[in-house]
Structure 1
Amino acid sequence: MLGLLVNNREVEEIQYLLKREMDEILFDLKDTRIDHIVKRAMEERYTILFALFRRVATHKECMQYILPTKKQKQKKES
């Protein structure tokens, strides 16, 4: 286990970077031209980024970035 000591400004910067990267992945996941294998890799990366984001963000902010499950996606499409 590693520890990291950051100040509030650095936490805000980390949050900004993670949000920006997660937003890009969410946008790309909606693109039908991207292959399924690539999307799976993107989802794995998103999971890692979200785990980092949970450590520095509030519960309310985290709720906005929860990746929809396949069951939720199917309900929206129906």
Structure 2
Amino acid sequence: MLGMLFNEKEYKELDYVLRKELDEMLLDMGDHRLDQDIRHSIAKRYKTVFQMYARFAPSKELSKYVRRGWFPQAKQ
């Protein structure tokens, strides 16, 4: 396990970078023009970045990035 210390400015920058990366990956995973293998690779990376973000993000903010596919939804 590795540990890191951030000052407030660095914390905000890391928060911003991770959120933007999650947003971009969500868009890419929804793009059906991309090959299934590529989208699968993006999904694996998304999981890693999401876990990093989950270590310090508030639960309300984190809920915006939870993928529906991770939790079964009732079909309508």
- TM-score category by the smaller chain? 0.7 to 0.9
Structure 1 match to 2:53? 53
- TM-score for both structures, normalised by structure 2: 0.88
**Divergent runs of 4+, >2 A:** none
Larger helix fraction of residues: 1
**One-letter code aligned to 1:15:** D
> Does residue 14 of structure 1 match 2:10?
no
How many matched pairs? 75
User: Secondary structure of the residue that 1:43 maps to in structure 2?
Assistant: helix
Deviations, residues 16-63 of structure 1 (Å, cap 9, x unaligned): 000111101101111111011110000000000000001121111100
Structure 1 match to 2:66? 66
- Which stretches in structure 1 are left out of the alignment for 5+ residues? none
Higher relative contact order (CA 8 A, sep 6+): 1
Contact 1:11–1:56 (Cα < 8 Å) also in 2: no
- TM-score for both structures, normalised by structure 1: 0.86
Structure 2 match to 1:28? 28
Contact 1:15–1:53 (Cα < 8 Å) also in 2: yes
Identity of aligned residues (%): 36
- Which stretches in structure 2 are left out of the alignment for 5+ residues? none
